Copies of this chain bind each other. A is one copy, B any other.
Amino acid sequence: MTKTVKIAILGASGYTGAELVRLLDTHPNTELAILTADRRAGQTLGAVFPHLAQVKAPPLVSIDDVTAEDWAGVDVVFCALPHATTQAVIARLPEHLRIVDLSADFRLFDTDVYAEWYGGPHKAPELQKTAIYGLTELDRERVANARLVANPGCYPTGPQLALIPLIESGLIEPDDIIIDAKSGVSGAGRGAKEGLLHGEVSEGLHAYAVASHRHAPEIEQGLSRAARRPLLVNFTPHLVPMNRGILCTIYVRTVGEADAGTLLSKLTVRFQGEPFVKVLPKGTLPQTRHVRGSNLCLIGAADDRLPGRVILVTAIDNLVKGAAGQAIQNMNVMLGLPETAGLALQPIFP
């Protein structure tokens, strides 16, 4: 495929929108056609994100000002709008568009569960039926054929990649899974909130949304599908004074004689040849700084001192594999492009 893919990004003034632009700038087959940002309409991208001032990009527009003709010139839409506003927007998009939605609006298949966790009825239940959950490595074929891909949440990406193959293979107890998750602040977005100020976040650490975070049902949906029965997990997120990165320390109980080595072998085989999911040798655990800026998901494991217990650790950059990178990966799969196009960057350190 050599035709240039015309891209629209809805909600380009947030961190996820900016990261899409940064990565797509290295993509050999794409061109930015439309960037929307209602409150910043009329401004250049460089005015909103000075670090992107050198990127060739159209000015920001209000989504209401995008004409039918404009849409006709677009092939793929990345939707990075706030949760709960996205369903109505996507429902109105022309049929020829293929869509990767980075919000949570189409991630939960069961619209009742959606309503329970997101505080209101689903606004596009028919469309929901067509949405494919885009954890690329685990559902590549369905992603390839989808019109609408629901891009996974940042937290659910790592744990599902590590746990779904293990649950499917019966190596771990599905009813005793504890996910202690630690995220950098960019996962909370660019909204001006007191709790995200430098003075509030730096030099400290805390758990939040304990037993009530919206990514819990998303993880449970994936693990339940793997287990072929409903299950619950513990999921406890923490806010860490860093900008990027999610580390999940996952405590599991193994079945039978399985230990960390067994689990790593299974995962190594499962992800063999994958460009972005890397299973580390036993004894080596991933660090978020080893994936910063890249689309990598690293997975490691160690035996616990408690017999029959294993500690799994996953690391991703929440803005890349946890958002914009995986979205581009999904687009590549949808369009039959090389899966690593626009995603070949090595991590940046220090």
Which residues of A line the B interface, CB within 8 A? 15, 18, 21-22, 25-26, 49-55, 178, 180, 182, 184-186, 190, 192-194, 196-208, 210-211, 216, 232-236, 238, 240-245, 247, 249, 251, 278, 285-294, 296, 302-306, 309, 311, 313, 315, 344-350
CA of A55 to CA of B348, assembled, Å = 13
**CB atoms of A305 and B202 under 8 A apart:** no
Contact A344/B26 with A203-B203, A249-B236, A349-B18 known, Cβ cut-off 8 Å: yes
Contact A190/B194 with A22-B346, A350-B15 known, Cβ cut-off 8 Å: yes
Given contacts A51-B348, A185-B197, A196-B198, 19 further A-B contacts (CB under 8 A): A25-B346, A26-B344, A50-B290, A51-B347, A53-B290, A54-B278, A180-B249, A184-B203, A196-B197, A202-B242, A203-B242, A203-B243, A204-B289, A205-B240, A205-B245, A205-B288, A208-B285, A234-B306, A243-B350
**CB atoms of B287 and A205 under 8 A apart:** yes
Q: State the 9 A-B residue pairs at the shortest beta-carbon distance, nearest first.
A: A204-B289, A206-B287, A199-B350, A51-B347, A198-B201, A180-B180, A51-B349, A51-B290, A243-B350
Contact of A349 among B49, B184, B251, B290 (CB under 8 A): B49
CA of A137 to CA of B349, assembled, Å = 27
State the number of copies, please: 4
**CB atoms of A303 and B249 under 8 A apart:** no
Residues of B within 8 A of A216 (CB): 305
CA of A198 to CA of B349, assembled, Å = 12
Shortest beta-carbon distance from A134 to chain B in Å? 22
Residues of B within 8 A of A52 (CB): 346-347
